[in-house]
Structure 1
Amino acid sequence: MSENDATAEQLSPLISAERAKTFADAVVAIAMTLLILPLMESISDAGGASTSASDWFAEHDGQLFSFVLSFAIIAMFWINHHRMYAHVERVSGGLLWLTMAWLLTIVWLPVATAMSSEFSDDGLLVRLVYIGSMLVTSLLMLVTRLYLRAHPDLLDADPEHLTRGLSVQLATTTLFAIALVVSLLVPATTYYPLLLLMLTAPVARLFRPLARRRRP
C-alpha cells in the first residue's frame, strides 16, 4: 500500500456524518418516548383500581414533574448536539466512540428518571444518580466539542464556529455541577436546583473569552 493510499484510508470516515446524525436522532427520540412508560403503567393500574383522575394526578405529581423535567432536559441535550453536528462533515473513530458514550448516557436517563420518582427513601443517592447522570451527559458533549475543535479536518467550517457552542456547553456543565452540589447539600431543594439551567445564556457570556482561546 502506498503512502497516499494509507493516508486516504486513515482519513476515510467509519460512517457518514449524516448516518451518525440520523442514528443519534433516533436514539434520543426513543429515550424521550421511554420517559412516558412508567406513567402509562400507573394509569393502567389506577384504572384497574377504579382510581379517579384527580386522585391519579395527586398521587403522581412527583412522577409527572420528573417526566416533564427530564423531557425538557433531553430535548435541550438533543438541540445542542444537533447544532454541534451541523458542521461535522466526517466521523472519525474517536468522534464515533464519543457519540456512542454520549448516547449511552441519554438512554440511561429514563432509568434515572424512574428512580427519582420511585425511590424517595434514598433521596441523596437518587439525586446523585439523577443529576449526576445529566452532568456526565453534559461533560461528554463538552469533551466532544473540544475534540472537534482539535480536529478541524472533520468539519466543513472554521473550528471557531464552535466557540459559541463551547461557551454554552461550559456554562451548562458548570450549572449541572452546581445544581448537583446544592441538591446534595440542601436536601429540601430536591430537584429544583436544576432550574439554574435558566441562567445558561448569561453564564455562557462569562465563559466566552475562555472558549475563544486557541489551542497552542
Structure 2
Amino acid sequence: MTLPQIGLFEMRRLEMLSNTIFGVAMTLLAYDLPKASSFKEAPTWIGLIHVYAQPVIALMISFVVAGLFWFSHHRRLAVAPEAGRGVVFLNLLFLLSIIILPVTNGLYGGYRLDGVVAVIYGLHLTMIATLNLLLWILALRGQSNPHLLVTAVVPVLVFLLGTAVAFVSPMLAQFTWGLAFLAPIAGWFAERRAKR
C-alpha cells in the first residue's frame, strides 16, 4: 500500500461519510409523506390520490436524483482516490447540498404546482448538479474522459432548463427535470464519438 502524498487526503474516509449522508437524506425524503392519521375514515381511491400524489411524485424525483448523484459521487472518488484540502471542502459542500434535499423535497411535495416552490426546488437541483460537475472537472484534471464529463454536464443543463420552465409552468418542470436521467446515455454517445 502506498502512502498518500503530503497534503493529500484519502477519499475513502469521505466515502464512508458520504454513504451515511446519502443514506440518511434518502430515508428522510419519506418523512413528509402524509400519515394514515390524516384520514378520519378509510380513504377512497380518489382520496388517496388527492393526499399522496404530490408528495409521492416529489419523493420519487428526489430519490432518483439523490441515487444518481450518490452513484456519480462514488465513481468520482474511484477516479480520484486522493485530493487536496480544497477538493475535500468542495465535497463537503456537495454533501451539505444533499443533506438539504429532504427540506426542499418536503416543500416541493406539499406545493409542487406553486411557481415559487418549483423554482426553489429547481435551483436546489441545479446547485447539486453544478457542485457535482465542479468536482468531476477537478477529478478529471489532465485526463481526457468525455464520457464522465458529459454525464456530469447534462444534469446541470437539464436542471437549468427545468428551473426556467418552472417560472412558466411548474407542472411541466417536473417532466423537464426527468430528462436529467438521460445523462448516462449522453455520456455513452460522447464515449462512442471519442473512440471514432
Which residue type is aligned with residue 173 of structure 1?
Answer: V
Superposed displacement of residue 149, structure 1: 2.7
Could you tell me how far 1:91 is from its partner in structure 2? 2.9
TM-score (norm 1): 0.77
- CA offset digits 1:52-85 (Å, max 9, x no partner): 3743343221111111111111101111111111
Deviation per CA, 1:145-190: give whole Å up to 9, x if none. Answer: 112233x6xxxxxx33x43211111122111111111222334424
| Corresponding residue of 1:200 | 183
Question: Which residue of structure 1 aligns with residue 117 of structure 2?
Answer: 126
CA contact (8 A) 2:159 2:177 kept: yes
CA distance in 1, matches of 2:4, 2:109: 49
Unaligned runs of 5+ in 1: 1-7, 153-158, 212-216
State the structure with more CA Rg: 1
With over 3 angstroms needed to count, the CA separation of the structure-2 counterparts of 1:68 and 1:60, relative to structure 1, is: same
- Given residue 137 of structure 2, which amino acid in structure 1 is its aligned partner? L
Superposition pairs of residues 39-188 of structure 1, within 5 angstroms: 39=33, 42-46=34-38, 49-52=40-43, 54=45, 55-119=47-111, 123-150=114-141, 159-160=143-144, 162-188=145-171
Deviation (angstroms), 1:11: 2.6
**What TM-score, normalized by structure 2, do the two folds share?**
0.84
Deviations 1:1-45 (A, max 9, x none): xxxxxxx9983334x221111111110111000001111xx2143
- One of 13, 18, 25 as aligned partner of 1:31: 25
3-state SS of 1:36 partner: helix
Q: Identity of counterpart residues, as a percentage?
A: 18
Query: What amino acid sits opposite 1:180 in the alignment?
Result: T
Q: For each residue in 1:95-118, what CA deviation from the matched residue of structure 2 results, as whole angstroms up to 9, or x when unmatched?
A: 111101101111111111110122
> Aligned-pair RMSD on alpha carbons?
2.9
Q: How many residues align?
A: 192
Matched, 1:22 2:16: yes
